[in-house]
Structure 1
Amino acid sequence: MIRKDLLIEIAEELEDYCSNESANGTLADFLNYMYLKNSIALTQSRKVGGDHAVVEGRDVPAEDLGKLLLMMNRYAKHYIKIAFEGSLLQTPEDFTYLMVLFSYDKLLQTDLIRKNAMEKASGNEVIKRLMRLGLIESAAKVDDKRAKPISISNAGRAELFKVLPKMKTVGNILIGNLSPEERDLLIILLSKLDHHHHALMDKKDVSELDQYLHRDSD
């Protein structure tokens, strides 16, 4: 026998979804909405700010996302610092630069910097540091004589393999108390955001922050 009270509750939730989220959503969309809604309700979180001053006109979800991404970056840096003890690597960028170079025979310096989504000046500093340490080396020139291709050295491969097990541990620590399903969903969402923002970083004509909000369809 179908419970009428449960049907009424589902109908109310569906009405709320159609009114506030999407009037054209599919069943799968609605089920995902309910899953996230209940997950949020059960999620434990810590309070950072106080209640002394109330800020009017806040966009709470957007602000929370920015804050949480910054906090996760700080946690990751803390764990990575421990992982790099006894290693020649000093920063997360050292690791990601070697990881990218490892997957190529050689790569132009400008391309390596772009793939790591860094400013040219900061990226060049990372490359210079890795070059001084002997972890990367100059590669054979390409047709454009002005271009500067580089590759990972044997010493760089050895250093990378030395820290890879620890970086795997860092990843498992960062996963924290997420279930396997939540972990996979987070990877999908972060990959989607990475794809979106990496394209935005290539927009050389953007000078104002608000302009980034209107570049989705470019």
Structure 2
Amino acid sequence: MKYNLLKDIIGLMEDFEQEAEKNTLYPRSKEGFIQWLLDNNSTFTLYEPYWEGKEKGRSPESAINTLLVQLNRYAKSYSKSAISGSAFSTQEEFIYLINLRTFGAMTKMQLIQRNVHEKPSGIQIINRLIQQGWVSQTDSEVDKRSKVITITEAGVLAIENQMDKIRQATMIVTGNLNLKEKLELIHLLNKLENFHQPIYHKNVDPTQLLDVAYKEYIRNTE
């Protein structure tokens, strides 16, 4: 009996387990193995979609960047509509409160970094939340130089008063995707998040950021 196929499968499983040790995107399960195969094995052919400008040589990277920017603008417009007539000035205020309610108290910088903001912009948002009485701040027990931000009962109430409209906006953003497509999109966006987040947390000087990020891109695509 020949075992060449079995040897190939075992080899793939060994490669998968090594990848799963360093990449939490792939759980050690049948589903994780299948997804890893789809993402990394060139023998799996995928349907190639059309994108604007493709026939003129426009790259898929260019199309992805444009689509992400446009989708972000659509989402912002829906969020702006959802908070119209409320005490919220921006969607960022709402998102900061949601993060505090979901993940609990955290330092100012932890909250700012979780929302991928620059420090000056994040501090302005937090100050507005404090002025509204939606969050409170106390000295950190770990580092007295840091302030810990906690959502207040008034902040929770402010969220709940707008939650129905926010849920509507959230559902609208996902548009006409079915459940399978939504799950596939979550997988792809998580993969991008896992690439970009470590770079962001390095707090690289803007003048050096592109070089650092490009080196990481090359390392991950070789």
**Normalising to structure 1: TM-score of the pair?**
0.72
* Contact 1:104 1:151 (C-alpha < 8 Å) held by counterparts: no
Question: Does residue 212 of the first structure (1) align with residue 204 of the second (2)?
Answer: no
CA distance in 2, matches of 1:30, 1:168: 39
Aligned pairs (5 A) from 1:97-108: 97-108=96-107
Question: Does residue 76 of the first structure (1) align with residue 78 of the second (2)?
Answer: no
Aligned pairs (5 A) from 1:54-203: 60-139=59-138, 141-203=140-202
Say if 1:32 and 1:84 are closer, same or farther in 2 by CA, change over 3 A: farther
- The amino acid that maps onto 1:92 is Q
Deviation track 1:26-82 (CA, whole Å, cap 9, x = no partner) reads: 588568643x43xx25xxx7x6x8x9xx7xxx6521111111111001101111111
* Structure 1: runs of 5 or more not aligned: 1-24
Say if 1:60 and 1:78 are closer, same or farther in 2 by CA, change over 3 A: same
- The amino acid that maps onto 2:215 is H
CA distance in 1, matches of 2:71, 2:135: 29
Q: Which runs of 4+ in 1 moved over 4 A?
A: 25-32
- Cα displacement (A) at 1:179: 2.1
User: What is the Cα-based RMSD across aligned positions, in Å?
Assistant: 2.8
CA distance in 2, matches of 1:27, 1:89: 43
CA distance in 1, matches of 2:111, 2:58: 36
CA distance in 1, matches of 2:106, 2:121: 17
CA distance in 1, matches of 2:93, 2:125: 7
How many pairs were matched up? 180
Larger radius of gyration between Structure 1 and Structure 2: 1
**Normalising to structure 2: TM-score of the pair?**
0.71
- The amino acid that maps onto 1:106 is A
Deviation track 1:89-113 (CA, whole Å, cap 9, x = no partner) reads: 2222112211111134421111111
Q: Secondary structure at the match of 2:155?
A: helix
* Contact 2:137 2:149 (C-alpha < 8 Å) held by counterparts: yes
Q: Secondary structure at the match of 1:139?
A: strand
Q: Give percent identity, aligned residues only.
A: 31
Q: Secondary structure at the match of 2:136?
A: strand
For 2:3, the equivalent position in structure 1 comes to: none
- Cα displacement (A) at 1:143: 3.7
CA distance in 1, matches of 2:92, 2:191: 21
